[in-house]
Structure 1
Amino acid sequence: MSDANVMKLCEEREKRYIQAVSLEQPDRVPHETRFGEYWAIDYAGYPIKGSTVDPKIMGEAMEKLARDFATDTAPFLFSRNPLFYKSLQSQSFNEGKTGIMQHPEVCCMKTEEYDELIADPFKCIVDRILPRVYKALDPANGSSSVSLVRAMSIQNDMNTPILMEAARVSQKYGLPLTGGGLVEAPMDYIADMIRGFSAITMDIRRQPEKVAAAAEAVMPLMDRLAAQLPAVPGKLVSMPLHMPVFMREKDFAKLWWPSFKELVERMAARGQYMRIYFEGDWTRYYDYLQDLPKGRILGVFEYMDHQLAKDKLGKVMCITGGYDVSLLQYGTRQAVIDEAKKQMDILAPGGGYIFTVSKGITYPNDGTPENVKALYEFVEEYGKY
């Protein structure tokens, strides 16, 4: 295929994607694969351990995905560099024996330090939290600055070549790169990186007013981070959501929702588009989601009542996900196709829909290549309007 034809194909795919996110109806349903680095590396024939830090292997894996599976977007592989975390003596991320990164729960802020976080979140995070999460950054060690420079060098030496490989695959196969960086919901950041799940759960019950104040205090930091990310159609800022499905609705409404809604509204006002991962079952929160900015969000749902989601959210956000990834491992080829048809018949009419699976095809046993191939070939053919 000539360079001109590849560019034209890329433009067509990007236009289709942008139309769907903007709640319009393109010529057919866009579709994107959600491959994780471990599945992709295994599929490319390499061992997981050591391969995620090798740009050449990651590039080969991305190219094999682009060549073998129908998709409208480039299969970008995100990888956490175990050497980066090891150099910082990270407590929150470490490499397992198989090379898969683990994320143990860590509580890095004492209960009595909430007031300090609320008063000056940036100072508290830099002075208190980071040295506890990353032991090498503790000033008491006498070499925190050197450790940080070394870690960033390790990260850049891996990330830059992998990004170049992703761009090469994108240009070769006419597949747009749709990623625009990542930001966290304010309270999720506190739960994930500062207090840990167990501690934040107790805080919600024992001192909810502190949790709410902390989320509001952290929100400007998340907004400042988001402001550095793209504000153009087709480049979506990712936001994975964690805590709400574990909360009572009254706690969600008072503690979690206000800072999240304000962050999303600020991002939309700047012209940013978001890929928001609604992890778990968000059905009881659909009425809240109706108040979010319209035509700015690609809502990725892990679980959903497809008809209810279409009825309540179809005019607010582009819907995607909701396809049980376990079918790709245990289902027959026909069962895989039948489920896709059932969901598309509900969600596709009128546009504002992109097909993908509910969770990433992350680990080698998350789906057989035959079923994945059959699924996306069917979606490409059946999804024509």
Structure 2
Amino acid sequence: MIQQKINERQQLFNDVIDNKIPERVPVMGNIMYEAAIEYAGFDLKQGQWDSEIAYKVFKKINEDFQTDAPCTSPTMRNPLFYQILGAKSYVMSETGVMQHPEITAMEPDEYDDFIKDPFKFMCDILLPRLYTELDTSPMQAAMVLAKAFKAKTDEDNIARKASREAAEPYEYAVIGGAGFGEAPFDFLSDLLRSFTGISKDIRRYPDKVKQACDAAVPLIEKTLIPPKPMKYRYASVPLHMAPYLGDKSVNEFFWPSFEKLISRCVSAGQTLHLFMEQDWMRFLDKLNELPGRMYMRFEYGDPQLTKKKINKHIITGFYPTVLLQTETKQKCIDKAKELLDILAPDGGYIFNVDKNIMSLKGSVAENYRAVLEYVSLHGNY
């Protein structure tokens, strides 16, 4: 009976991928592990260091929020891993949330070294700059790296086991977890040159930026395409720099290497989940022209225009998480109904919020439960 329910839920997502109209609108949920820790009654700072609480955390979320796929997942930013490495790129804030500060690891005059051999340059130069405990002798650095990955693997295994066991009674579909990567231009911006640095570079060293984006494609491709590519499980690609660039800069610097990366993943048979951070409405035509059939999760913009323009791919997102904190339960439900009316007709839609939920405090949890229950009951075709 349990396996039958799992199969039914899995079929909802499979049908959407296959461009068929499913029995009803599939429901996804995205609650950050940090929010789940606090919701389950644990201290956020302490909870991120204690993997033994993971089962209780996942169980509490699964009990209270009705979705077709797991609503939360193990953290990607384990603080133990980053502490062992002496990370500058990811640090814990005073509130206990892991933050990614604006940092620069590569200097403008090092573009040629990166372009020549990106992997070697990253190992020899960039990693010791980003992770201070690797800035030592090769033998000691190897020991630190081994220790960090052993700790991460142990913690991840505990969390994944807890997640699986806590999910068993709830008959979830499995749809993600195939890989994670970035658009090449975003990769350069995030960890190598920073947002500020790349904004200067596209004016001062335009050819170097283009070459570096192309050079990064094979590296990122490896993080997105598993040994056995999966049509029904997606690899995640958050996208963020394009909305902050003019159209000319997007066409010149962002899109060529991004499109190349997407094409390689699609050719390999791997489904992708693109998260369009900020407003991507001016790029809808270009997004629809991308090959394959992908999840496209939108943060801001016009759902009606998106439904009109995006017909090759899957639309998700758009539900404003801010409403869960600021509006009544009925207004939150009314927004879900509005999105169903716009996006569900003719299929190609999966319900989800516009961004991951970072806190369930106040009215958020109660309103979110009501919204998920409404969509599960009324998302019929």
TM-score normalised by structure 1 residue count: 0.95
Are 2:179 and 2:225, in contact at CA under 8 Å, matched by a contact in 1? Answer: no
Whole-angstrom distance in 2 between the partners of 1:317 and 1:222: 22
Q: For 1:300-321, what per-residue CA distance to the aligned partner results, in whole angstroms no more than 9, with x for missing partners?
A: 10012111100110x2110000
- In the alignment, which residue of structure 2 is the partner of 1:28? 24
Q: Aligned partner of 2:368: which letter?
A: V
Whole-angstrom distance in 1 between the partners of 2:129 and 2:362: 34
1:248 aligns with 2:242: no
Which stretch shows the higher mean deviation, 91-100 or 155-164? 91-100
Q: Percent of counterpart pairs with the same letter?
A: 36
Unaligned runs of 5+ in 2: none
Structure 1 counterpart of 2:273, from 256, 272, 275:
275
Query: How far did residue 291 of structure 1 move?
Result: 1.4
Are 1:321 and 1:356, in contact at CA under 8 Å, matched by a contact in 2? Answer: yes
Which stretch shows the higher mean deviation, 338-347 or 46-55? 46-55
The Cα RMSD (Å) is 1.5
Structure 1 counterpart of 2:120, from 117, 120, 123:
123
Are 1:76 and 1:177, in contact at CA under 8 Å, matched by a contact in 2? Answer: no
TM-score normalised by structure 2 residue count: 0.96
Q: How does 1:119-198 map to 2 (within 5 A)?
A: 119-140=116-137, 143-179=140-176, 180-198=178-196
Structure 1 counterpart of 2:73, from 77, 99, 117:
77
Q: Aligned partner of 1:49: which letter?
A: K
Query: How far did residue 229 of structure 1 move?
Result: 5.8
Q: How does 1:1-20 map to 2 (within 5 A)?
A: 5-20=1-16
1:41 aligns with 2:69: no
Are 2:179 and 2:223, in contact at CA under 8 Å, matched by a contact in 1? Answer: no
Whole-angstrom distance in 2 between the partners of 1:37 and 1:366: 17
Are 1:280 and 1:303, in contact at CA under 8 Å, matched by a contact in 2? Answer: yes
Match of 1:320, SS state, is strand
- In the alignment, which residue of structure 2 is the partner of 1:199? 197
Q: Aligned partner of 2:216: which letter?
A: V
Match of 1:143, SS state, is helix
Unaligned runs of 5+ in 1: none
Are 1:117 and 1:214, in contact at CA under 8 Å, matched by a contact in 2? Answer: yes
Query: How far did residue 69 of structure 1 move?
Result: 1.3
- In the alignment, which residue of structure 1 is the partner of 2:371? 375
- In the alignment, which residue of structure 2 is the partner of 1:349? 345
Q: Aligned partner of 2:118: which letter?
A: P
- In the alignment, which residue of structure 1 is the partner of 2:284? 286
Query: How far did residue 12 of structure 1 move?
Result: 0.7
Whole-angstrom distance in 2 between the partners of 1:29 and 1:292: 24
Q: Aligned partner of 1:373: which letter?
A: R
Are 2:29 and 2:72, in contact at CA under 8 Å, matched by a contact in 1? Answer: no
Describe the shift of the 1:23–1:367 C-alpha distance in structure 2 as closer, same or farther (beyond 3 A).
Answer: farther
Describe the shift of the 1:124–1:240 C-alpha distance in structure 2 as closer, same or farther (beyond 3 A).
Answer: same
Query: How far did residue 140 of structure 1 move?
Result: 4.4
Match of 1:376, SS state, is helix
Query: How far did residue 353 of structure 1 move?
Result: 0.2
